[in-house]
Amino acid sequence: MVHTKRVYESAAKEDGTRILVERLWPRGIRKEALPLDAWCKEVAPSPALRQWFRHDPEKWNEFERRYRAELDANPGPLQPLLKAARHGPLTLLYSSRDTEHNNARVLQAYLQEQLANSKIRAH
């Protein structure tokens, strides 16, 4: 199961593996103060895409399409996340104030689709 959570929320046992999926370190948090298992910058949207989007909900559908295209073009960095999700709960950490329109939500859906497709191929 893949979950999302803001970095500013408390860690919980149910989070399982906690991976930061932002290209930039979250503001206001010391590195030693954020409980996480990994920081996977490579799975975050490219700087150009992030700057174009600027968390504008009106650009959401196009952002999601472009970000998925980036993920399709570079599947290697996704492997540790897929592996973690196969072994237990995975929580994708993000810093955006917008809990609905952020890269972690897109990545969550993308990973769940990849996991479902790999189960279908395995049978």
Tell me the percentage of the chain whose pLDDT exceeds 70: 96
Q: Do residues 34 and 7 touch, judged by C-beta distance below 8 A?
A: yes
Reported confidence tier of residue 108, pLDDT bands at 50, 70, 90: very high
For the chain, what is the largest distance between any 2 Cα atoms, rounded to a whole number of angstroms? 46
pLDDT digits (tens, 9 = 90+) for 30-86: 999 999 999 999 999 999 999 999 989 999 999 999 999 999 999 999 999 999 999
Tell me the whole-structure pTM to 2 decimals. 0.92
What pLDDT is stored for residue 118 in this prediction? 77
Domain extents for the chain?
Answer: 2-122
